[in-house]
Homo-oligomer: A and B are copies of this chain.
């Protein structure tokens, strides 16, 4: 929906008419600037005036003060305007509250467009409100979510569809990214025959799916440290940290083409300082030599992008930090720098393991610069997880190599 007032009003009218007695949720347009027109549209739709809310105004003034600003910017006062009759939904992470208004027998909820604010207000206020509104009217969907890595969507689908059939009323949805595939198994209670419990159907399907998913699973399937790693794209890093922490191991990084991305992913997990010691971003060859102690003759003989250099980088990171486990990554992310022998996308990995041995590999990763860096990071984390997680046997992705149990509250 565009920013023009009549367009927003039209969308409000249309949505209200479409779900009489239902819930309409609007996001965005509650900010301080002239293109933020949602509150005007809501006021016009209900034919009520906008009123300056003293409570919001005080919060805005306090925030301006805390930021060392001379006073509240005039434009920010708009945030304090509330359509008469609206209930405020407090914002746990910002100053613009959400708004709720009765819409016939239904509800109109207005949330800020900034994703983390929208999410926070939804979780804290709107979700409980919706549960209440729909209680006894619709049964919530029963759902089970698993994060996987190291396997492509189509392969996963082929294996899963062999054991979990759609005809049971089960839905399997896949959300692929460069870092892995999220799998959601769900049952829509409205599609389940009378007398059958959706939760029982789901439990049944999940029990059949888990052995298929186990080798690729990287979310909270294990208990203990880092089990609460948030679903912010760091599931893989969380899984590796769990595996390392369980075994009393610490990790270090030596990165060239990924430029700090592996370290950044690992340290994005709360509590990672117990397990991550640090690392070196060795972008220039001189830093590979000075910072990681890589023998210049090795670079001369094999090139900076080579398995021997990746191995020496991992060993250097381990030596520098004292970490038992380390990863070295050197590659060509492009757009320039490729050669016929080592085209853009060539990435070499070295994994220093607790027994002092080093495993190396060379991969070709498709895509542009960003994509190659993301894929290289995810690959390194997944491979290290399998090397460490399977007690040193190191069969990456071998079925059954990670024991997996139903997580608490997973269903």
Once the chains are docked, how many angstroms separate the CA of A283 from the CA of B73?
A: 39
B277 and A260: CB pair below 8 A? no
Contact with B along A235-259 (1 / 0, CB 8 A): 0000000000000000001010011
With both chains docked as a complex, state the minimum distance between the C-beta of A188 and any C-beta of chain B, in angstroms.
Answer: 9
A3 and B173: CB pair below 8 A? yes
B283 and A278: CB pair below 8 A? yes
B263 and A259: CB pair below 8 A? yes
Once the chains are docked, how many angstroms separate the CA of A69 from the CA of B166?
A: 26
Task: Mark the stretch among A197-205, A285-293, A294-302, A401-409 that contacts chain B.
Answer: A285-293
Most chain-B CB neighbours within 10 Å: which of A33, A152, A258, A337? A33
Dominant secondary structure at the A interface: mixed
A153 and B33: CB pair below 8 A? yes
Q: Which residues does chain B contribute within 8 Å of A283, judged by CB atoms?
A: 263, 267, 272-273, 276-278
With both chains docked as a complex, state the minimum distance between the C-beta of A276 and any C-beta of chain B, in angstroms.
Answer: 5
Once the chains are docked, how many angstroms separate the CA of A321 from the CA of B309?
A: 18
A290 and B320: CB pair below 8 A? yes
Q: Does A176 contact B (CB under 8 A)?
A: yes
Q: Does A373 contact B (CB under 8 A)?
A: yes
Q: A173-B35, A320-B290 are in contact. Are A281 and B281 (CB under 8 A)?
A: yes
Cβ 8 A contact of A35, one of B158, B174, B371: B174
Query: How many residues on A have C-beta within 8 angstroms of the other chain's C-beta atoms?
Result: 71
Q: Does A270 contact B (CB under 8 A)?
A: yes
B284 and A281: CB pair below 8 A? no
A33 and B157: CB pair below 8 A? yes
A281 and B263: CB pair below 8 A? yes
* A residues adjacent to B (C-beta < 8 A): 3, 31-35, 67, 69, 73-76, 93, 114, 116, 152-155, 157-158, 161, 166, 171-174, 176, 232, 253, 255, 258-264, 266-268, 270-273, 276-284, 286-287, 290-291, 320-322, 334-337, 367-371, 373
List 22 A-B residue pairs with CB atoms under 8 Å apart, sorted by A's residue number.
Answer: A3-B171, A33-B153, A33-B154, A73-B155, A75-B158, A253-B260, A259-B263, A260-B261, A260-B262, A261-B264, A263-B281, A268-B373, A277-B283, A277-B284, A278-B280, A278-B291, A279-B280, A279-B281, A280-B281, A284-B321, A291-B320, A291-B321
